[in-house]
Amino acid sequence: YLTNIAWGPEDKYIYIAILNRDQNHMKLNKYDVKTGDFVKTLFEERHENYVQPLHPMIFVEGNDNEFLWRSERDGYDHFYRYTIDGKLMNQVTKGKWVVKDFIAFTGNSIILTGTHKDALETQVFRSTIKAPRSTMISKAEGMHRVQANYNGRFLIDSYNSLQNPGTIELVDHTGKSMRTLLQSENPFKNTEIAQTELYSIKANDGTPLNCRMIKPAGFVPDKTYPALVYVYNGPGVQLIYNSNLAAAPLWMHYLANAHNYIVFTVDGRGSENRGRDFEQTIFRNLGEVEMRDQIRGVEHLKSLDFIDTDRLAVHGWSYGGFMTTNLMCSYPDVFTCGIAGGPVIDWKFYEVMYTERFMDTPKTNPEGYENTSLLNKAKNLKGELLMIHGAQDDVVVWQHSMDFVRKCVEEGVQLDYFPYPSHPHNVRGKDRIHLMRKVIDYIIDHNQ
């Protein structure tokens, strides 16, 4: 795989991160632009599971002989400073947090964003280039997006949180506020919005897992409520943030308020922004650790007096569709119903680079592919399951759900199914209203 392509400052050389098929060995290679000839390997990275280079090198401003490289080699995504010959000079950022975005150079420092508070927030940092010293310069809690002027001296900081609908502020490179450009009003100030809570529970191994619970606006503690577990829990994705509405779509608030539901989500192990060990614990067995964490979330729900433990539904799309189907088949007595959208059913049918990064190849990991294939679990399905698929899905191809339907027929298992003609992996535009109406109606009708 040829990844993370970067041009040298003088356009004489091109730099490419080369990954082997197993994706556990990366070489950062230098090539001559005119001839295409290989010049040298600057350095290599290896890991027993996989390495995941996602960002090209960044040449240091004013110094064409040095560049910054991002790596998870110490367990978290951080910057490292190299010479153009591939000599490691020093680690630039360090700690149990993850770099999100490079913003700008400013003198002998860089401005960047990174995670904070167990990845619930993205904050702004200034880090010196020649030593791992980072200072958080943003002051407000929540999720920050930043733009810099040409020399990194001034920043436009746009941020919001569960308590703040949105602020845009002009600040200098030390974080000092120069001017508030915009303070958004709460768009729901005249609307009865659902209650949102952020907190954590512990996985079976003690790992803290971020949770989001949405309660009806008129929540009464001594009543009992049915619940929907909304799930994704796959690599590269995080669902829960300290942002406006905690990153929950408004249909969840509608389900909570209009139908007196509790809507619960947990970002289990395998999801993004919590460091290499948190993410790679799912290696070679997609769905197993993630299901344990989702069931841990269900156990938490069942411990709450206000949850009707006989009325639990589950819903997710894509990897969340895989998880929904997996949960319905692996824990058939837990959920009354589920809605699986665009679900991966058998990882042998999914995109090669993504799948083999996390699963290795079917030849080297046959047990993992066998254990995670939902075709082998269809016979266990007991609750009501609605499977939805875009008929032109080029991400999770239609073969996934079609094969699951065929397996259900063979096993004499009943399944509800709905295709969306002309739609790819996600149902967009006006048809999304139809989709969400179908999802909500199915939950209401079958979670009895």
Angle separating helix axes 431-446 and 250-259, nearest 10 degrees: 40
Tell me whether residue 393 is one of the annotated catalytic residues.
yes
Q: Along the 448 residues of the chain, how does pLDDT read in single tens digits?
A: 999 999 999 899 999 999 999 999 999 999 999 999 999 999 999 999 999 999 999 999 999 999 999 999 999 999 999 999 999 999 999 999 999 999 999 999 999 999 999 999 999 999 999 988 999 999 999 999 999 999 999 999 999 999 999 999 999 999 999 999 999 999 999 999 999 999 999 999 999 999 999 999 999 999 999 999 999 999 999 999 999 999 999 999 999 999 999 999 999 999 999 999 999 999 999 999 999 999 999 999 999 999 999 999 999 999 999 999 999 999 999 999 999 999 999 999 999 999 999 999 999 999 999 999 999 999 999 999 999 999 999 999 999 999 999 999 999 999 999 999 999 999 999 999 999 999 999 999 999 9
H or E segment and range at residue 322: helix 319-330
Judged by DSSP in three states, 25 sits in strand
Closest CA to 212 of 167, 244, 172: 244
Q: Which of 161, 318, 373, 401 is catalytic?
A: 318
Tell me whether residue 259 is one of the annotated catalytic residues.
no
Sequence-ordered list of residues with C-beta below 8 angstroms from that of 57, at least 6 positions apart, any chain: 4, 6, 15, 28, 67, 68, 69, 82
Q: Which of 393, 400, 401, 446 is catalytic?
A: 393
The per-residue pLDDT for 117 is 95
Tell me whether residue 64 is one of the annotated catalytic residues.
no
Judged by DSSP in three states, 72 sits in coil
How distant, in Å, are the alpha carbons of 118, 386, 413, 434 from that of 416? Answer: 38, 5, 10, 16
The per-residue pLDDT for 131 is 87
Q: Which of 74, 330, 425, 431 is catalytic?
A: 425
The per-residue pLDDT for 343 is 98
Cβ neighbour number for residue 204 with a 10 Å cutoff? 11
H or E segment and range at residue 148: strand 143-148
Which residue shows structure tokens 């709450």? 304
